[in-house]
Amino acid sequence: MIAVIDYGMGNLRSVQKAFELFCPDVRISSSFKEVVSSDKIILPGVGAFKKAMDELEKRGLADAVKKVIEDGKPLLGICLGLQLLFSESEEGGSVNGLDVLKGLVRKFKNVEGLKIPHMGWNRITTSDPVPQGYGAGKQQGARILDGVPDKSYMYFVHSYYVEPEDRSIVLCETGYGDTFTSGVHKDNIYAFQFHPEKSQTQGLKIVKNFVDI
């Protein structure tokens, strides 16, 4: 069973429908017990970082996410769900995240001609051989990107991006003004800034790969 964590933010049904193409048992859940007993977990989300953290804490789901990770179960973060895994966000001042991945969440710089939020289709770079600065994260996490060609287009909607302390967890990057991290992998954690469930053929390959892990 795959649990899609419900903390009151995001279009959970679209995530559920995408994963149901490859898994017969996908449940939207706000139950600590159900989340921690699931085989795989998805942490989605669209909206404000602070509100999301407040809701996760209030519902006991922050602890559920941490326990799932400690238990070694595969977890997929999507969009805000990626950002929440990191230590701290600039959004709303300075807000603590789940801190299961070290690093900051930063806002895109105001650059002439650069629209914020970053919204629409953009490419992810996943080329081999592994570029300088990448490490085991890209190599070991490549399974989630199996069959996804380098420079595939994915669908983004965000004003903030993650800046990992450890470059070895970076799976893919995207250019928007500067280059930012658009996907990470560490141990049983996989997370993307884009929306695989909205990214048509290539995004659905990621969905299927996560189901198959």
The residues, ordered by sequence, that sit 6+ positions from 201 with a Cβ below 8 Å of its Cβ are none
- Orientation angle between helical segments 200-212 and 12-20, nearest 10 degrees: 70
Catalytic residue of the set 55, 91, 173, 197: 197
Which run of H or E residues covers position 64?
A: helix 61-70
Please name the residue that has the structure tokens 């969009």.
79
Q: Does residue 88 carry a catalytic annotation?
A: no
Q: Does residue 20 carry a catalytic annotation?
A: no
Q: Does residue 79 carry a catalytic annotation?
A: yes
Catalytic residue of the set 118, 158, 185, 195: 195
Interatomic CA distance for residues 61 and 69, integer angstroms: 12
Q: What is the 3-state secondary structure (H, E, C) of 153-173?
A: EEEEEECEEEEECCHHHEEEE
Taking phi first (over 0 means left), then psi (-120 to 50 degrees means alpha), and beta for anything else, what does residue 12 get? alpha
Catalytic residue of the set 55, 79, 91, 118: 79
Question: Looking at the annotation, which residues are catalytic?
Answer: 79, 195, 197
